[in-house]
Structure 1
Amino acid sequence: MSYWDPIPTVRACAEGEPLPGLAEWVPAYNDSWDTGSDVWQERNWRNVPGPFYGAATDTCWVGREVAPDHVLYDDEFGLEFVYRQPRTPEETHRVMAAAWQDPMAGYACDGDERWTPELVREWWRDRGRVREWAVGLDRSWSGSARADEREAAGGARAYVAYIDDGLEDHLRGYVFWLAERRQPRPDELLPRL
């Protein structure tokens, strides 16, 4: 699968479906998290292109507690951002739970209306900057005395591994999705980045 659309799962939750197994994180639907946010201009440059992204989030470091395979913290202010877009309903629920824990309402899931194929390609061309940042974060936090920083260093390593293997295919599928708003047929080639 080249790209999986998480937005139907988001809509189902907004209509009242519970987040399975995440009741401790999201006791009830919180309508303060708007799927049509206006935080795009403030988004963290480390966010991987896709519908979910973090901008001016809190600095409480709770996102990785519920979505460690998707959320990471920057090293400057502790802001949360999405380093891997969800690929299943469960992963979508986890990213949503991370977003709903943010008292600053700094997450959004309107990236499909904001990203364009050219913006995704620009992000991909500049991936070396993101990779270099993640390598540096791992280097500085992996030996930290703080357990939460050492744990987050693992997320930085996972981000580097994803940039090196897997992210390109995902983004090629996402560019197709942005252009066509559908999954590619088996005989269709994905666009180049």
Structure 2
Amino acid sequence: MTYWDPIPTLAILQPGAEPAFGSGWMGRWEERNWRNVPGPFYGAQTDTCWTGRLHAPDLILYDDVYGQEFVYRQPRNPEEVKDLLTAACEETVAGYNHDGDLHWTPDSVRAWWRDRGRVRAWATSLGWSDWVTSEHPEERSAAAAARHYAAYVDAGLAEYLRGYLFWLVEGRPAAHGQTLPELAA
């Protein structure tokens, strides 16, 4: 699958939600969580109420120290954009944003990928923490999502990032069979 641009779907679901504006979209790039996967959406200084996974469990995970929310997988279809929009609107301090395309560069995406071991180590350690056996279902769910994140880093994320690199350079998704940029450059 090539990169799919979720922003046109967001514009349909929430007209007037230009990058850096609109309900739920006040997160600042400089404050984004380092665990966010490159792409248009990210969590920055979010609250610690753990509401994101209630609406977008396949996209959002929590920082284990402060409980802040971040995007561990970018939306792949309109339904997931709707889920992320709902999570962003429920987040009480509007700490999400969708202006990542204005900030990510091929070099910064490649740098993030080179440092993926840090993300994977975090996700793996969280997945086997006290959350795994917690009496709280939301902690067990977050532990499972952390394991999914580590698996995504191992298989699937590289292909997504190569498609995203193409998108950043060309301003359009790659056509079927078109060569995608390499992550190691």
Instruction: Give per-residue Cα distances to partners, 1:48-99, cap 9 Å, x unaligned.
Output: 0000000100111011011000000010000000000001000111011111
CA displacement at 1:171 relative to structure 2:
0.2
What is the aligned partner in structure 1 of residue 142 from structure 2? 152
Pairing of 1:1-193 with structure 2 (within 5 A): 1-15=1-15, 31-34=22-25, 37=26, 39-140=28-129, 141-193=131-183
Give the match's secondary structure for 1:137: helix
The amino acid of 2:146's aligned partner reads A
Give the match's secondary structure for 1:142: helix
Superposition RMSD in Å = 1.5
Instruction: Give per-residue Cα distances to partners, 1:6-29, cap 9 Å, x unaligned.
Output: 00011112228xxxxxxxxxxxxx
The amino acid of 1:183's aligned partner reads P
Distance 2:22 2:110 in 1: 33
Distance 1:38 1:151, change over 3 A: closer
Give the match's secondary structure for 1:81: strand
CA displacement at 1:47 relative to structure 2:
0.2
Distance 1:56 1:9 in 2: 24
Gaps of 5+ in 2: none
Distance 1:10 1:174 in 2: 18
Give the match's secondary structure for 1:131: helix
The amino acid of 1:6's aligned partner reads P
Distance 1:32 1:187, change over 3 A: closer
Distance 2:54 2:80 in 1: 13
Give the match's secondary structure for 2:30: helix
| Count of matched residue pairs | 178
CA displacement at 1:120 relative to structure 2:
0.3
TM-score (normalised: structure 2): 0.92
Q: Indicate conservation of the 8 Å contact 2:2/2:176, yes or no.
A: no
